Chains A and B, each alone.
Chain A
């Protein structure tokens, strides 16, 4: 090719190669945690993780997904630690050999949100009764519909109410998205919606929505943390992952969780088993 601009092309290739080489990680002192959108959007991680990093020098990279997707990410070996809230699925994850051990960390609670005017008359302390009222009134209800921990909990409550939302009419709307987007949808439609308290407290675009049902024991929402099994995925940063889990269930970690408040309200309640 005896012709011009060969050099230009060459330079372009070299530059591209250099650019690809650059993104190599500056420090390897980090772990990847697959967690839930509700945990991230509640703001807890922004409070918690800097404390941990300051203490250990280990950075924590959180990939926030629905519980189902987070467990799948961990199952594929793309995370070192999984931090979610669906006890049954978490136990299955460990039983199937993908995780080492499940540790209870904390709980928060779900709340039923709806329009302040409460056209269905759902307000009260009984989630099953409230959902029955919503169904009777055919009031709009926004469901996550994304196989997340919150979505799975919501489906349990419908079952408790003796109803099957799959056979419901138009008033039951699956958004197929995270907690925040579902709250946005509910706010725009004046719909009822089940949310975790943390995301709700941190949510800014509330419109006319308010908490209508809270305090029912069934609304209790347990979080667990699991180290991805290094026997299954040898590249898992087991030592650093263990350090993170140990800290979460330690006195320090538990105190850090307890100290997180939004507008003066505590959001997560530490309940790790006391260290032996």
Chain B
């Protein structure tokens, strides 16, 4: 049977053994998730802010929808992206299925609702507080968005880290759209699934420990962001 100690030494072997395959997997995982995060931020921060300050018909429905989509099961997100990117799907001509780009798209779909919903929440509170002053300065609601996003920076960073956490830990979506192809689309989570399938539990847990280390770092950053936010009078 497997010993926790041997799993830990397997993890250490992986990290310090200079195993090129292993580092390839770690780097691909980070590249995919960070890219997805960047795209989700570029789209989600302005959209979330718009939703926070905008007053239009159907706004409540959109808010409920984005909140609900935060809980979208990764497998469902993966399936939707799969059907879209498949050669038989509407965007099949792009030939993106089973590539890192497909995984980036799937993870963006997972992160985006989180970024939009949390941005909306944070910016709405801030707008309530700032609105009179900013309008007194002659800013339109639209013109106020950069100010609001910047002043919400720490809370938004926490929202982005939450998105990062969700995307980096999920396996369902990237497995479906990436295919877990060795050397091409194998991420930490799909590799863990594969090694578990092989009954190679030490290696699987070793990878899991590395993933946990990444998650731990992310959470430490989130904690730091909250601290910094308090220093600025929250």
The answer to whether B42 and A13 touch across the interface, beta carbons within 8 angstroms, is yes
The DSSP consensus for interface residues of chain B is helix
Q: A12-B41, A207-B1 are in contact. Are A64 and B180 (CB under 8 A)?
A: yes
The answer to whether A77 and B86 touch across the interface, beta carbons within 8 angstroms, is yes
Which of B115-123, B145-153, B217-225 has 4 or more CB atoms under 8 Å from chain A? Answer: B145-153
Which of A15-23, A120-128, A211-219, A243-251 has 4 or more CB atoms under 8 Å from chain B? Answer: A15-23
Docked CA distance A5–B185 (Å): 36
The answer to whether A204 and B199 touch across the interface, beta carbons within 8 angstroms, is yes
Say yes or no for A99: interface residue by CB 8 A criterion.
Answer: no
A275 CB to nearest B CB, Å: 29
Q: Which residues of B contact A187 (CB under 8 A)?
A: 199
Q: A2-B143, A183-B199 are in contact. Are A20 and B39 (CB under 8 A)?
A: yes
8 A-B pairs, CB-CB below 8 angstroms?
A3-B147, A4-B147, A19-B39, A37-B197, A64-B180, A179-B197, A183-B199, A199-B198
Q: Looking at the complex, which one of B98, B150, B184 makes contact with A78 (CB distance below 8 Å)?
A: B98
Say yes or no for A9: interface residue by CB 8 A criterion.
Answer: yes
The answer to whether A3 and B149 touch across the interface, beta carbons within 8 angstroms, is no
**Interface membership of chain B positions 139-176, coded 1 if the CB is closer than 8 angstroms to chain A and 0 otherwise:** 10011111101100000000000000000000000000
Q: Looking at the complex, which one of B142, B145, B179 makes contact with A61 (CB distance below 8 Å)?
A: B179
Chain B: residues with Cβ within 8 Å of the partner, total of 46
Q: Which residues of A contact B135 (CB under 8 A)?
A: none
Q: Looking at the complex, which one of A1, A37, A184 makes contact with B196 (CB distance below 8 Å)?
A: A184
Say yes or no for B52: interface residue by CB 8 A criterion.
Answer: no
Say yes or no for B100: interface residue by CB 8 A criterion.
Answer: yes
Say yes or no for B54: interface residue by CB 8 A criterion.
Answer: no
Docked CA distance A181–B180 (Å): 16
Q: Which residues of A contact B12 (CB under 8 A)?
A: none
B40 CB to nearest A CB, Å: 9
Q: Which residues of B contact A167 (CB under 8 A)?
A: none
- Of A8, A32, A179, A199, chain B has the most CB atoms within 10 Å of the CB of A32
The answer to whether B35 and A19 touch across the interface, beta carbons within 8 angstroms, is yes
Q: Looking at the complex, which one of B87, B143, B181, B201 makes contact with A235 (CB distance below 8 Å)?
A: B87
- Of A46, A62, A78, chain B has the most CB atoms within 10 Å of the CB of A78
Docked CA distance A9–B49 (Å): 13
Docked CA distance A138–B185 (Å): 42
Q: A2-B143, A63-B180, A235-B87 are in contact. Are A15 and B38 (CB under 8 A)?
A: yes
Residue of A nearest to B32 (CB): A23
Residue of A nearest to B38 (CB): A16
Q: CB within 8 Å of B: which of A59-80?
A: 59, 61-64, 76-78
Say yes or no for B226: interface residue by CB 8 A criterion.
Answer: no
Q: Which residues of A contact B147 (CB under 8 A)?
A: 3-5
Q: A61-B184, A206-B199 are in contact. Are A78 and B143 (CB under 8 A)?
A: no
Say yes or no for B95: interface residue by CB 8 A criterion.
Answer: yes
The answer to whether A63 and B179 touch across the interface, beta carbons within 8 angstroms, is yes
B132 CB to nearest A CB, Å: 17
Q: Looking at the complex, which one of A46, A62, A77, A204 makes contact with B201 (CB distance below 8 Å)?
A: A204
Docked CA distance A183–B87 (Å): 34
